[in-house]
Structure 1
C-alpha cells in the first residue's frame, strides 16, 4: 500500500497553536471508508480531510472526526485549501470542493489579507421551544431562545460572559438528536460569540467550527440587521471568523498556517 502525504494546519488563525487544527490528506482516490476512519482516529483531531484532485481547481473532499464521517466541515476545508494553494495552486482564483451531501464549496484566496474566503449554502435555523433536556445540557442555565439548524441545536444566551463561563453536561448533549450543541450570544468586541460541543462525534468542545457559522451568520444577520459580521469562537484555542450573508450563501473568511508536513507510512500495513 502506498504511503500518503499528511499535513496538519491550524485554521481560522494566523498564529501557530491557535485556531482549530485539521489534518489534510491528499489522495489519488478515496481509500476505503474503514481506512479513512482509522487514519482520522489515529490523527485524533476534530477533523481529517481527504482530498482528491479532479482537474484544475476541482476537488472532491470528505471529512472524518475520530469516530465518524460528517456532512460538512468548514475549518478542515479551509485547511485543505491552504495546503493546495501553497502546494502549487497559486495561479488559481477559485478552488471548488465537491462534497457528498453539502453541494460544492467554493474557496477563494484573499491575497490582501493572506487568508481565504469560503462560500457555503446558508443554513437558516428555525426557532423551536426549549425543553428540559436542553436546560439539562446547559446545566440549568436558562436560554434566551433555541433554534434548530440542519446539523445542530443552537442556544442563544444572554451575553458573552454566560457563553464563556458555561460548563455544559456533555453526557446529555451526546444524547440529543443532533450533531451537537452550539451556544451563542452578542459579543463584547465582535458581533457575536459562540462555543460548539460535539461529544457524540468524539469532540467534547470544537476549537473553531466553520460549519456552525453557516447557521449562526444568518441568525445574527437577521437579529442585528446587518449582512457583514465579525465572530469569535471562545474555545481555549480561540478563533476569529468574518461572515457575510448573501442570499442563499454564507461567505466565511479566515486565515490558516501549516504546523506539520509528513507522511502516513501505510506500506507497513
Structure 2
C-alpha cells in the first residue's frame, strides 16, 4: 500500500467495471480512494459528493483486513457490487490478488482470474411474490408477468428483451411507493437474461451496471433456466456484461474492466 505524503493527501483511481468492448458496453464507474486510516462518514460523503460518481469506494487496511465503504453523491450505499469490483481492480493494480473486503454487512471475497475481476456475494433470495400494483403498470408501461420482493431491490419480470430495452420509466410515479429499487428483467436474445436497475429515490434514477441486482437475479434465473453458470447484460445507456456462477448460497460475479484515471485528493 502506498503511503500518503501527509494525512490530508489520498490517492485515487477510477475504473469502469462490467465492460465489454466488443459489444460496446461501457459498464459502471467507481472512483476508489485508498486511505491510510478511516475517515468519518461525513468526510467520505463530502468527497463522494465532490467526485459525483455513481459510487465512490473507500478502502483502508486494519491489521490483515481490507475494509470498504461506498458512497453515492447523496447517501451511503449498503452494498455496492460494482464498487467492490473497482476495489478488486485497484488492489490488483497494487499487486494484491487474493483478499476479502470487510464491510458493515459482511465479507466479500475478490480476486482476478484470467485477467477478469471477480467478487463473490451472498445470494439475495426472493422473499415473496407480490401483487402487481396499478402504479407499476402505469410507471413502466410494459407487460409485467411477476413482481417479487427481495431484501435489496424488487424483481419485475417482463416478457422479452425488447420490453426491457424500450421501457421508459415514469420515475415520479415510482417515487409514490417506498420501494427503494427495481430490477426489471426478461430472457435475453443472445444471453441468458437481461435487466435494468431503477432507483427512483436517489439522484441517479437508473444504475448503469449493478452487482447487487445480479446477486438477486442470479438465483432467480438459475432456478428458471436450471443453470449454474450464466451470462447477463444490463441494458442501461452505458450497458454492462456479467458472467455469473452459482456456488451454493453465493454467486461469483465476473467482468472486464478499464482503468480511467488516477490522481490525488486533498482533504479539506
Partner of 1:262 in structure 2? 263
Partner of 1:169 in structure 2? 170
Equivalent residues of 2:209, 2:239 under 8 A apart: yes
In structure 1, how many angstroms separate the alpha carbons of the residues matched to 2:156 and 2:25? Answer: 28
In structure 1, how many angstroms separate the alpha carbons of the residues matched to 2:38 and 2:198? Answer: 28
Is the partner of 1:52 in helix, strand or coil?
strand
2:251 equivalent to 1:243: no
Map Cα deviations across residues 150-175 of structure 1 (whole Å, 9 max, x no partner): 11111011000000000001122234
2:101 equivalent to 1:104: no
Equivalent residues of 1:10, 1:17 under 8 A apart: no
2:43 equivalent to 1:35: yes
Aligned residues: 259
Pair 1:109–1:188, CA change in 2 (3 A): same
Equivalent residues of 1:66, 1:201 under 8 A apart: no
Map Cα deviations across residues 124-177 of structure 1 (whole Å, 9 max, x no partner): 113222112222331x33301111111111101100000000000112223432
Report the RMSD for the aligned CA atoms in angstroms: 1.6
2:13 equivalent to 1:7: yes
In structure 2, how many angstroms separate the alpha carbons of the residues matched to 1:26 and 1:216? Answer: 31
Equivalent residues of 1:11, 1:21 under 8 A apart: yes
Give the C-alpha shift of residue 32 in structure 1.
1.4
Runs (5+) with no aligned partner, structure 2: 1-6
Partner of 1:74 in structure 2? 81
Partner of 1:207 in structure 2? 208
Question: Following TM superposition, where does structure 1 have runs of at least 4 consecutive aligned residues deviating by more than 4 angstroms?
Answer: 14-17
Q: Which moved more, 1:43-52 or 1:8-17?
A: 8-17
Runs (5+) with no aligned partner, structure 1: none
In structure 2, how many angstroms separate the alpha carbons of the residues matched to 1:78 and 1:132? Answer: 37
